[in-house]
């Protein structure tokens, strides 16, 4: 008899081996769909609005940063959670109890994953509304802050939340095919601009951008600046999906599936989607189609590249492909809250979260993707780091749930979050503004702190005792 286990752990059942599927039927295609979301790749060339963006040092440096980010996402953030899922057959909110404790597992990572979904819903609503409004207001840039944008973002978030709660089965039927839309659009844009790549010159781009910028003091990113921006942007975007690797891994057949699913669906798709976005902007510049060299967002260039009649079609197709992820955000949040807050009606918990998403979208905060991704990376960077350390310390197996709140997990998360969020918070506090760039690549540093501190705290005995699992939960799980 397993004592001291909450009901949600007792009720857990591993996915049997007979129900596991190949990497290309699950992990790879799902992750590739995430990386093909237009919100991810459209701002990769922009570099946070600096002259020349991430193209300031040329395509070679930008691709180096892109490849490094994709590999770090696979090996640091996804692999340990994915292997945990494979070896246990259990989902993240159960596997995470070895890192954060059987009681603490209610909050971390399960509840936190649910809460952050509303941040993603806000981002989705903001940018989808931008593209939906763009044809009617003179382009994507003109849409932000308009009453029309606020109305469309609100309706989008409400519809996505409702479908996530009540109609997710209908959304799921088409969701696996919709990533083909952004894939096709990226390829069409690349073919349309490829002839300009030979004429692309990073110095011309940064020079004209400085001339066009309102702030004459703005400077282009250095080589390290380009790499650091891409690491921060991509890792921050991916962090929650990395921890969710547990849920993908529990449906894989073997370790080869876990590895190939990540290498193709994460690293490969990141380099493919982000790389095409860079090439499209560079080619458009080479062809002289950048009417404003300070605007390097790929979707904003579509009218220049494809014409004012075709661009709205592309914008609307991209929003259609973005609707299922918005629904899935609400669905994931609802499942998280059902587990951690079983007595609260999901319509109430998800309704409150959706209201927060609407506020984020309407105020424009969700549109500051660099800040959003930094906070998300700060939240889940230390989770992935601690889980990786826990995996290695336990002999590359799942140790099982630990009693109460596991101190090693919680202390490492607190320290990692502080490090990861420091730059973002400091930027809004006058005495700290001069230190707003103190932490290099905050999402990566959050992972490092989470990993190292968990490892050290566990070594000095700050892990709570392991609880015995029921035989039905362990059966076939390979713990």
Mean pLDDT of 144-151: 95
Q: Give how many domains the chain has, as a whole number.
A: 1
Percentage of the chain with pLDDT > 70?
A: 95
Mean pLDDT of 282-303: 91
Q: What is the DSSP string of 70-114?
A: HHHIIIIIIHHHHHHHHHH---HHHHTHHHH-TTGGGIIIIIHHH
Within a 10 A sphere around the Cβ of 242, how many other Cβ atoms?
30
Alpha-carbon torsion (107, 113, 114, 117), positive or negative? positive
d(C-alpha 55, C-alpha 206), whole Å: 8
**Is residue 231 scored above 50 in pLDDT?**
yes
Q: Specify the pLDDT at position 126.
A: 97
Q: Specify the pLDDT at position 461.
A: 96
Predicted confidence (pLDDT) per residue in 315-345, tens digit: 999 999 999 999 989 888 888 887 777 788 8
**Is residue 265 scored above 70 in pLDDT?**
yes
Q: Specify the pLDDT at position 251.
A: 93
Mean pLDDT of 286-307: 91
Helix (H) / strand (E) element for 335: namely helix 311-340
**Is residue 476 scored above 50 in pLDDT?**
no
**Does 11 fall in a domain?**
no
Higher pLDDT, 150 or 164: 150
Q: Specify the pLDDT at position 215.
A: 52
Contacts (Cβ under 8 Å, ≥6 apart) of 316: 131, 132
**Does 10 fall in a domain?**
no
CATH number at residue 409: 1.10.4160.10
**Does 466 fall in a domain?**
yes
pLDDT-derived band at 213, boundaries 50, 70, 90: low
**Is residue 432 scored above 50 in pLDDT?**
yes
Mean pLDDT of 377-405: 96
Predicted confidence (pLDDT) per residue in 84-132, tens digit: 999 999 999 899 999 999 998 878 888 888 899 999 999 999 999 999 9
Mean pLDDT of 9-16: 89
User: Residue 327 in contact with residue 168, Cβ under 8 Å?
Assistant: yes
Mean pLDDT of 129-144: 94
**Does 364 fall in a domain?**
yes
**Does 12 fall in a domain?**
no
Mean pLDDT of 21-34: 91
**Does 7 fall in a domain?**
no
pLDDT-derived band at 234, boundaries 50, 70, 90: very high
Predicted confidence (pLDDT) per residue in 401-431, tens digit: 999 999 999 999 999 999 999 999 998 888 8
Helix axes 79-88, 255-262, angle to 10 degrees: 150
- pLDDT, the chain, mean: 91
Higher pLDDT, 113 or 74: 74
**Does 476 fall in a domain?**
no
Q: Specify the pLDDT at position 214.
A: 56
**Does 271 fall in a domain?**
yes
**Is residue 64 scored above 90 in pLDDT?**
yes
**Is residue 477 scored above 50 in pLDDT?**
no
- Nearest CA to 305 among 191, 144, 137? 191
**Is residue 11 scored above 90 in pLDDT?**
no
The token pair that represents 110 in the structure block: 């399960």
Q: Specify the pLDDT at position 2.
A: 52
**Is residue 257 scored above 60 in pLDDT?**
yes
**Is residue 152 scored above 90 in pLDDT?**
yes
Q: Specify the pLDDT at position 249.
A: 95
Which range of residues forms the domain containing residue 262?
19-470
d(C-alpha 72, C-alpha 257), whole Å: 18
């Amino acid at each position: 008899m397993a004592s001291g286990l909450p009901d949600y752990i007792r009720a857990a059942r591993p996915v049997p081996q007979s129900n596991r599927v190949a990497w290309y039927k699950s992990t790879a295609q799902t992750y590739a769909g995430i990386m093909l979301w237009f919100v991810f790749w459209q701002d990769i060339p922009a570099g946070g609005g600096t002259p020349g963006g991430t193209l300031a040092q040329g395509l070679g440096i930008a691709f180096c940063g892109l490849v490094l980010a994709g590999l770090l996402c696979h090996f640091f953030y996804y692999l340990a959670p994915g292997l945990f899922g494979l070896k246990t057959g259990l989902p993240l909110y159960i596997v995470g109890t070895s890192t954060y404790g059987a009681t603490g597992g209610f909050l971390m990572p399960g509840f936190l994953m649910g809460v952050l979904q509303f941040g993603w819903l806000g981002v989705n609503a903001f940018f989808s509304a931008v593209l939906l409004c763009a044809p009617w207001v003179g382009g994507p840039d003109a849409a932000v802050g308009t009453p029309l944008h606020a109305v469309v973002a609100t309706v989008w978030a409400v519809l996505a939340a409702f479908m996530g709660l009540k109609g997710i089965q209908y959304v799921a039927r088409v969701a696996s095919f919709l990533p083909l839309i952004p894939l096709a659009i990226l390829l069409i844009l690349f073919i349309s601009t490829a002839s300009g790549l030979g004429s692309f010159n990073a110095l011309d781009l940064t020079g004209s951008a400085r001339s066009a910028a309102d702030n004459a003091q703005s400077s282009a990113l250095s080589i390290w600046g380009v790499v650091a921006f891409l690491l921060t942007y991509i890792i921050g975007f991916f962090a929650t999906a990395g921890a969710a690797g547990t849920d993908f891994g529990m449906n894989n057949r073997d370790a080869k599936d876990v590895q190939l699913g990540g290498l193709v669906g994460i690293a490969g798709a990141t380099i493919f989607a982000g790389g095409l976005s860079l090439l499209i902007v560079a080619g458009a510049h080479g062809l002289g189609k950048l009417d404003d060299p300070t605007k390097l967002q790929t979707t904003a260039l579509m009218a220049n590249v494809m014409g004012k009649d075709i661009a709205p079609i592309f914008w609307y197709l991209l929003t259609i492909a973005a609707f299922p992820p918005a629904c899935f955000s609400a669905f994931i949040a609802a499942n998280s809250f059902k587990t951690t807050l079983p007595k609260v009606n999901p319509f109430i918990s998800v309704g409150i979260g959706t209201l927060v998403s609407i506020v984020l979208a309407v105020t424009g905060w969700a549109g500051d993707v660099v800040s959003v991704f930094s906070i998300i990376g700060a939240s889940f960077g230390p989770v992935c780091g601690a889980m990786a350390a826990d995996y290695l310390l336990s002999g590359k197996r799942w140790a099982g749930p630990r009693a109460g709140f596991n101190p090693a997990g919680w202390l490492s998360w607190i320290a990692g979050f502080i490090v990861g969020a420091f730059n973002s918070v400091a930027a809004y506090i006058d005495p700290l503004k001069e230190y707003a760039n103190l932490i290099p690549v905050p999402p990566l540093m959050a992972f490092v702190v989470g990993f190292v501190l968990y490892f050290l705290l566990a070594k000095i005995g700050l892990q709570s005792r392991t609880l015995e699992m029921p035989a039905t939960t362990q059966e076939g799980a390979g713990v």
